[in-house]
């Protein structure tokens, strides 16, 4: 049995990751708002960029969201010229999403925003601490089935 008497909630990994994650998510969402985007829009662009999924249903499963949300995200990104929808030649009922050149440029801008936020977040860490944090988060993400580029 886990002893909780000497451990404060705020000392747990779950609480700390959640609190820092919420803070960073809010800051990133604020930065993305200048483009009329939310983090899930950028997540969809990232999935397409990595080639992890192409159909709206596959993307929904990978992102762990409802297919209707992927449709709404794709609608917005398509209206911006960032993605295009194509019919799957093997299954005319299936929509395939792909990044456009404009979408790649937009993803690069969003990545730059994330890197700026990363630098602020990790400013008080040594380079070895930054490397260890990156490795640990990558391992955690991979072990929980989240998309991670090797």
Cα distances (angstroms) measured from residue 128 to each of 99, 105, 119: 35, 31, 14
Residue position matching structure tokens 């949300």: 69
Whole-number Å distance between alpha carbons of 102 and 126: 36
pLDDT value for 46: 95
4-60: per-residue pLDDT in tens?
778 888 999 999 999 999 999 999 999 999 999 999 999 999 999 999 888 999 999
pTM (2 d.p.) = 0.87
pLDDT value for 89: 84
Tokens of 65: 């969201």
pLDDT value for 54: 86
**Does the CA dihedral 21-27-32-37 come out positive or negative?**
positive
Q: Give 72's Cβ-side CA count (13 Å radius).
A: 8
Whole-number Å distance between alpha carbons of 42 and 47: 9
34-114: CATH topology is Arc Repressor Mutant, subunit A (1.10.10)
Per-residue pLDDT at 148 exceeds 80: no
């Amino acid at each position: 049995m886990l002893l909780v008497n000497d451990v404060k909630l705020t000392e747990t990994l779950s609480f700390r990751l959640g609190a820092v994650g919420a803070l960073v998510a809010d800051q990133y969402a604020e930065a993305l708002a200048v483009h009329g985007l939310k983090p899930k829009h950028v997540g969809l662009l990232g999935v397409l960029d990595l080639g992890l999924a192409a159909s709206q249903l596959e993307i929904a499963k990978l992102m762990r969201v409802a297919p209707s949300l992927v449709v709404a995200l794709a609608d917005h990104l398509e209206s911006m010229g960032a993605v295009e929808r194509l019919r799957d030649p093997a299954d005319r009922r299936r929509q395939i999403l792909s990044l456009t050149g404009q979408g790649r440029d937009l993803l690069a801008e969003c990545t730059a925003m994330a890197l700026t936020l990363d630098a602020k977040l990790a400013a008080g860490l040594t380079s070895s601490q930054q490397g260890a944090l990156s490795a640990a988060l990558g391992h955690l993400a991979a072990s929980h089935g989240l998309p991670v580029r090797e």
